[in-house]
Chains A and B, each alone.
Chain A
């Protein structure tokens, strides 16, 4: 691999492992994610996705292995990493009792964006979303689809290199789900790397590359098309079933 290539890798993971006592939650995983890539991180409940994601975000310390996120070491430079990543989960991202603008300002402040820069950038964001007239509306008064759009925009407001999306579309209707993915596409086309987990297999198809975790290990890693070819099936659903039904853990 040449030098240039390794610079373009936003995530580099080598033999990463996390143990809780004798339980190996994440078992020796290795993968790379390139700049601007939409990387799907799939696996059954309890396969170790959340644990792996936490280690990459610098929230949880790995037991062994190496990993670099946005060029920084996950053991020593977690603060640097946190400045350069965005995070959005289904459960929490916006404060419902703050207005749209207040939420944006808050996140801008959290990521150390200068006060004088926040305002123009916030207005740009609101204009892009066609939200300008909703600037002072409380977030809880917005429809779900809007909230989600806003949550994503806020997660990338500080122009991170990489954004982690943890089941961002659970329980969301088909239309809102699609709008959301279009936003992801758009962000990726601007060079933001997307790291996403989902239980929707059609969403898996939208990813450039996918990994499927089973019992803490990465059992498959490729583009959706190649995976289907590799397992000789027609849909990602079938790929997932073939792999995940091998799982022994939990049950």
Chain B
């Protein structure tokens, strides 16, 4: 135990004295929250709308006013003929064009043209604009008694404002812990190999398990600090409602942190240089987190093979669990599956890593 504490102390010296890295580690979650929470957003904002209406009847004017009154949309242009739609869109003047037919009063038809170079955005724009139109026609129907059409009533659960930060915060958590625990731990172990100090440690009677676990401690502490920062920022800055139990959230996060550490350890026992450790962590861990965890791309839309593969990406389970607890406010029993999968994965990884870790140089 005394040896273990000596190692832990040494590891803390290393990371506390490397001020730059320390700063990056502590500031990274803040930066990510800010970037993903505000800058990269799939929420609708300032959508510019152009209108093409051959006859401006009163109902058309009402519709235009209704759209203009919505905080997401602004009517910026009236367009005279359909050729100009394409032109205005290319010039970036408008994001959406609404085209009314010439005999709108007798046979109302509306065409909506959307710049879908960003498909996600186009989808939400479409969704919003059609709900505005639907709304209008429902009111109109009541007043002038047109023939009744099918009513659709959509209700957005859990994230009624469709805030993208609700989606990203669990993703950021999934990413940060992999970065810090797996990447930093593996780099710090491999650094000792590269500098030759691992040779000296191996030649000493110290058990490898002591060296390894001591390496994990500081990064574990840093990760816990990060967990705290992320949660604080999520509640205060992004105002994400904490619907579920914080205790469960922390518990599942701890499991995930431990799993990431085990991952880092495994990487470090497989590679020889810091650069290789970095690449292995980034390509082998971060990329799957970004691509296959459901953080950015919905898993249900993936080809079936990728869906299978996504099942072995721990971040998928973690992110899903965090969403369930944090956003949906579900009880722990609903994330039991995720917790069990993550725990089994951690145990498996740590066993493989310790088996792979050698008592000798090769």
Q: Are A and B direct contacts in the complex by CB distance below 8 Å?
A: no
Q: A-side interface residues toward B, CB under 8 Å?
A: none
